[in-house]
Amino acid sequence: MNRQVERIFSQIDYLSSAPQADRYGLTKLKALRSEMERHRHEKYGLSEVISWAFRIKHALASQDHSDDWREGISWIGDPDASSVDRTLSYEYMRSDQKLVAGSIWNNYYPWIRRNGWSTIGSVHNSGMGAIATWILAVREVTKDSSQIVLLTTRLYFETRQLLQRLLFGTNVQVIECESDCEFLERIKEPTNSKVVAYLDSAEQSDSLSLFQRISSAPLPKPVVLVGWDNTLIPYWKNPVDSHTKLSAPLFLMRSLHKLDQLGLEVASAGLLTAASPAQLTPERARYLELLLSEVKNSMKVIGSTASPTTIRRLEAFRLPNADLAQDSNQAATAASDRFHDSISGVLPKYMEAVSYPHKVFVTIPLPGTNQESISKVMDQIVKQCTLSGLPVMRSPSVGYEFTSISSFLSESDTGDATRFLRVSPGGHDTDMIDEISQCFLSTVSNL
């Protein structure tokens, strides 16, 4: 495999997937921050180091590593396996996941640490796996209660389906608010039911502003838990100030695939983090304790636990890296603004492009399309851009070194389902963004 990588990338002197990779391999990522400053070129928008790491990752990921994980991507930059093995322990894939106290997965959010809240985390096979685990745990914890209200913001289609299936026939009443204003009004309403508040990451909702609003004052007594899918919110960004009054246990759910891997797509994984403010009422403290116990049980039941190889891969690439992600995300956000401005006013009126508050995605509705037809549209866009030498590919992650396109299904206020094309422009220079925009328009406008 060393010879194959060397042949593919002549600019790389040598790369080994064996233990001596520490000398030549991706341990260079340790110095990515300083390397970015030395190698940043306006021509590319992102550092050459990111491009270099991206190309290496894809070369290695295409190899067959089925015989032994030590010959695979997990080993790169990790000559001492015992250092990674101390991060967690397994008996087998669905057994208890035991993360050491100082693990990054228990202390993922810098702002939580700064606020002095206690945290505990679990790594899952995907973001939806983390959400499903939490929902199932909520169901079990509240099954003996007379009435539970799960108050949500606008939901992703898949999340809505998940709630309907997992909570069917239970005493949990799901109230999905049509707007952020409705959510804020309903959470204040007096009720005899226990309330679990859930903020989704759907494009139609500004979950960051909502979280800031509900944490700026003590929550009403009926609210016993708060869940937040903050996948599209930078994890290094502090959403609260020093005067936060969040008074209920907070469960953060996150896909680690979209925003946190710098477009490298090392592994599909999700994170569930329980954060506990210092002062909890006895009732809320009891719900927190019960839910943490049920999360472990739910992970076993549905098999949502991330594999050891997944975690080793992320750690081998020194992910997460908050400083590097912050720099890269700024470039991607600027590119997203440019792309949105380039296509706005040019698309047919029914395809109005929308850039939402998190700014990493631009979405375009394609009414009347099904999954097969929208897949063909995406393939056509990728083909056309590739022929023009433009870095566009199908991927659900946020674009960094490349522009990614994917699709999702959403229901309108009338109940009609519409498929959306979701574009995440990479951190390219303005000329390249404009070329991608024109290539995109020439394909989509003919639909």
Say yes or no: 350 and 211 in one domain. Answer: no
158 shares a domain with 73: no
Specify whether 46 is located in the same domain as 134: no
Band (pLDDT 50/70/90 cuts) for residue 92 is very low
- Last residue within a domain, chosen from 64, 79, 94: 79
Of the residues 274, 295, 316, the one at which a domain ends: 316
E strands along 277-428, which residues?
354-355, 362-365, 392-394, 403-411, 417-424
DSSP-derived letter for residue 17 is S
> Tell me, what's the pLDDT at 22?
36
Here the CATH number for the domain that contains residue 438 is 3.90.1150
Checking if the pLDDT of 34 tops 50, the result is: no
Structure tokens at 246: 């969040």
Question: Which segment of 2-11, 108-117, 246-255, 329-338 scores lowest on mean pLDDT?
Answer: 2-11
Lowest mean per-residue pLDDT among 40-54, 139-153, 359-373: 40-54
Question: Do 64 and 110 share a domain, yes or no?
Answer: no
User: Which residue has tokens 């989509």?
Assistant: 444
Do 93 and 21 share a structural domain? no
Tell me: do 70 and 153 sit in the same domain: no
Let me know whether 257 and 304 are in one domain.
yes
Query: What whole-number distance in Å separates Cα of residue 430 and Cα of residue 433?
Result: 5
| Average pLDDT over every residue of 406-414 | 71
Residue 10 pLDDT exceeds 50: no
CA distance linking residue 172 with residue 144, whole number of Å:
11
Q: Which residue has the higher pLDDT, 241 or 172?
A: 172
Give the pLDDT confidence score for residue 56 in this predicted structure.
Answer: 53
Between residues 94 and 303, which one has the greater pLDDT?
Answer: 303
Residue 70: pLDDT over 90: no
The per-residue pLDDT for 282 is 93
111 and 245 co-located in one domain:
yes
Question: Are 108 and 217 in the same domain?
Answer: yes
* Owning domain of residue 188: 83-316
Contact residues for 228 (Cβ-Cβ < 8 A; gap 6+):
198, 199, 207, 211, 250, 251, 252, 253
Q: Which residues sit opposite 277 in a β-bridge?
A: none
27-36, 97-106, 276-285, 368-377: segment of lowest average pLDDT: 27-36
- Which residues share a beta bridge with 411? 417
Are 203 and 303 contained in the same domain?
A: yes
Q: Of 58, 79, 100, which residue sits at a domain end?
A: 79
435 and 301 in a common domain = no
Confidence of residue 349 (pLDDT cuts 50, 70, 90): confident
Residues 21 and 107 in one domain: no
Residue 122: what pLDDT? 92
Number of domains comprising the chain: 3
Token pair 């606008």 is found at 154
**pLDDT at 139 exceeding the cut of 90:** yes
Mean pLDDT taken over the chain:
76
**DSSP state, residue 6:** H
